Chains A and B, each alone.
Chain A
């Protein structure tokens, strides 16, 4: 027995494989584990599209409403106010008033104004259209996430896919009824409300029941971050998300992040009146029945735009702005793709692929031992190490194991012996030529090397392309294939070679080719 660097690396790789695959194999509480894909544990996968054109349409609509409101308020006669999906057009009848109108219009953001005599056309700039669309998507994601958090599922996934698609993944949905409930929840518009804090009674909020509050026409709401903090607010909201046309992060004079929000014409009036009468009191910004913030009203806020300042970080302000925008879904969502798998089907799939995996594994192991004797045993050690390393790497990445991924593992078992077969056949050839054991092993590895490298690298190229262009389940398959190929190169080239070198003192003396390589010398 002698140690060499190959066997040391191989031993370390096996230890790594055992340590990091244990949590997944034994399903321990702690440690990084491989998660089961939705097709194996059951659940709901959806790809939702967002009708972003609706968002720009509603933006145009509210601009039209504010023009109408401005004209009425200032007694300016306008005619033919109309809008389509891209622009608003109207005619100012009294040409002296055009300048007044221009002043008002110049305050609108992201709008291009064109004149044709007394006819004025407003259209959104391409940049503004893009911004509105992107906002609609982020807003839908925020809303959906909010909803799902309340649904009480473990770790729902809501993520943007591509430019305007939303990926929703829910594990642990058990019944079609439950799934339908989740889908209804997702597709419902979220509700944002501005509510007045009942300052006169708020101090007593912690000793009140809901019934007590209701008696005053109030409701008790919790703070979104800290459920222990409660607010007493008037039940009838001042206004709701339907009147909001936008909310963005800005900065005040002291360069602290604030939220700039915009209301439509109707909301602006209501808001102006309310804030004027309630300076010094608090305004609760409520989303899905939770208080996001309750800033003090410092002054009357007219013009339909205002600031909400508070002690937020830029990120918090951004989140709050998104939450504000997600009052009502600006753009409706629609189903592009749905895959739902019941838990029993997932269990069946696991069982079937496990049988195939174990069956294939036993087949290969027995075959190698019978055909190659000791060399086969060494190859089998490499194969087991290969599987452990594959599982360990997947666990470390927190990879998701899908059904195609399982198929990839099964295939890896079939192909992992390839390198060992190539090497052993090469060694046999050299023994036939009459070389000594030692020479045959060293030259056999050297000869087999280029073939193994070239063959594996080309297969790896195919897997990588598959990963880049694949979606969901296919990606999982490509990952297991790639890791399997890399692991098989490590275990076959380094590992088995190290074992032979370690056993060499024993082998060198032996003339028993049958025992070592399954051949008559």
Chain B
């Protein structure tokens, strides 16, 4: 089977203006959502308590509310369905520091008489832990970006590094925007998804860049736009196939992975779509924008080859005892 037999380059860069406009609109929209709605920090980062309760039958949410309202401790507690009608989650902003008797025990006692239930999960995160996790998470994000920047600059060229990081920022911004739009609880798993997206999106960009680098080195043409179009067209089969398999695998995780893995899978799903798009329509046009000069690069390569040859000649002379 073959969907992508290479015939002639597709003019991707010709569409890059429209794509750039779309990207900028998406990013601005994401920041607008982040600024207005804001991220809905879950207990991992904000601190608080989650109690997950499973009933034999449909959960009596109304009766539960009445029971909990009797105790001041549960002021501002929200009760919502979790994956199925017989399962609910109670979310609270408060946490308790006592080891012997915690807020989960109190909730268990308070819910007596609402039916047959089991408490399946109690997570309590104190405020101190939450802020520590936030710090560490941001640190991880910036460190990975910095480390990747250094590596790509070392392997390619600084313009490639900056372009790939710009694509990363684009992907992360839009993924975060989607998370804010759907008011998904931002917990450690969402952070993990964002960091995975970093790796994935970059992986995609590097494959395209590698091909562009190859095109620049091998081709006699000096027109960067043409080279980029040809390179992207040649990697199109791989880009599409890998993105599709990964997308479908994450999609099965999203559909069948259960409620707990939902936020993780959602963030990744958005990330895979955006990450694939950005390799072609964000990272590559930026190379042209940054004024990458093929002639210069060719001259540099020639210079390098000449130096290498010179070295070899010297070495040969030295070894044959002429020096």
Q: Which residues of A contact B (CB under 8 A)?
A: 46-49, 176, 180, 183-184, 186-188, 333-342, 344-345, 348-349, 351-353, 355-356, 359-360, 363-364, 367, 370-372, 403-404, 407, 410-411, 413-415, 417-418, 421-422, 425, 428-429, 432, 447, 450-451, 454-459, 461-463, 465-466, 468-471, 473-474, 477, 481, 518-520
Contacts and interface: CB of A to CB of B under 8 A. Distances in A.
Interface in B220-263: 234-235, 237-238, 241-242, 245-250, 252-253, 255-258, 260-261
A164 B204 CA distance: 43
Interface in B96-128: 96-102, 104-105, 108, 118-126, 128
Interface of B: 1-2, 5-6, 52, 54, 95-102, 104-105, 108, 118-126, 128-129, 133, 136-137, 139-140, 143-144, 147-148, 151-152, 155, 188-189, 191-192, 195-196, 198-200, 202-204, 206-207, 210-211, 214, 234-235, 237-238, 241-242, 245-250, 252-253, 255-258, 260-261, 264-265, 268
A427 to B, nearest CB: 12
Given A364-B249, A458-B148, A465-B140, A176 B195 contact: no
A155 B1 CA distance: 54
Nearest to B126: A336
Nearest to A359: B252
B253 A360 contact: yes
Given A353-B257, A418-B242, A465-B144, A337 B124 contact: yes
Contact of A340 (B121, B125, B188): B121
A342 B119 contact: yes
A335 B99 contact: yes
B199 A458 contact: yes
A371 B140 CA distance: 38
Contacts of B235: 425
B148 to A, nearest CB: 5
Contact of A458 (B99, B139, B152): B152
A363 B244 CA distance: 11
The 4 closest A-B pairs by CB, nearest first: A352-B258, A414-B249, A469-B140, A360-B249
Given A176-B122, A407-B265, A471-B136, 16 more contacts: A176-B119, A183-B99, A334-B97, A335-B95, A336-B126, A338-B122, A341-B121, A360-B249, A360-B253, A407-B261, A421-B241, A422-B242, A425-B238, A450-B210, A461-B151, A470-B136
A519 B237 CA distance: 13
Contact of B256 (A183, A337, A339, A356): A356
Given A404-B192, A466-B144, A469-B139, A360 B98 contact: no
Given A48-B99, A418-B203, A429-B234, A462 B1 contact: no
A9 B106 CA distance: 59
A369 to B, nearest CB: 10
Given A335-B99, A338-B102, A519 B2 contact: yes
Contacts of A477: 192, 196
Contact of A353 (B214, B249, B258): B258
A342 B148 contact: no
B171 to A, nearest CB: 13
A345 B52 contact: yes
5 contacts: A352-B258, A352-B261, A360-B252, A418-B246, A425-B241
Contacts of B123: 338-340
Contacts of B207: 422, 451, 455
A336 B49 CA distance: 12
Given A459-B202, A461-B148, A466-B195, A471 B188 contact: yes
Contacts of A471: 133, 136, 188
Contact of B203 (A355, A407, A459): A459
Given A459-B202, A518-B2, A421 B99 contact: no
B188 A415 contact: no
A335 B2 contact: no
A371 B122 CA distance: 47
Contacts of A336: 97, 125-126, 128-129
A475 to B, nearest CB: 10
B133 to A, nearest CB: 7
B250 A411 contact: yes
B249 A410 contact: yes
A462 B189 contact: no
Residue among B104, B200, B249 facing the most chain A CB atoms (10 A cut-off): B249
Contacts of B189: 404, 473
Contacts of A46: 99
B108 A355 contact: no
Contacts of B214: 447, 450
B99 A333 contact: yes
A344 B258 CA distance: 13
B121 A335 contact: no
Given A176-B119, A466-B192, A454 B206 contact: yes
Contact of A459 (B139, B200, B256): B200
A454 B155 contact: yes
Nearest to A187: B99
B98 A335 contact: yes
B192 A470 contact: yes
Given A360-B248, A421-B242, A458-B199, A474 B188 contact: yes
A451 B206 contact: yes
A203 B211 CA distance: 87
Given A349-B258, A421-B241, A422-B238, A334 B99 contact: yes
Contacts of A340: 104, 121-123
B96 A335 contact: yes
Contact of B246 (A183, A359, A415): A415
A199 B152 CA distance: 77
Contacts of A481: 196, 199
Residue among A367, A456, A462 facing the most chain B CB atoms (10 A cut-off): A462
Nearest to A473: B188
Contacts of A413: 249
A260 to B, nearest CB: 32
Given A341-B120, A363-B245, A407-B264, A454 B143 contact: no
Contact of B6 (A403, A432, A462, A463): A432
Contacts of B206: 451, 454-455, 458
Contact of B102 (A183, A349, A351, A352): A183
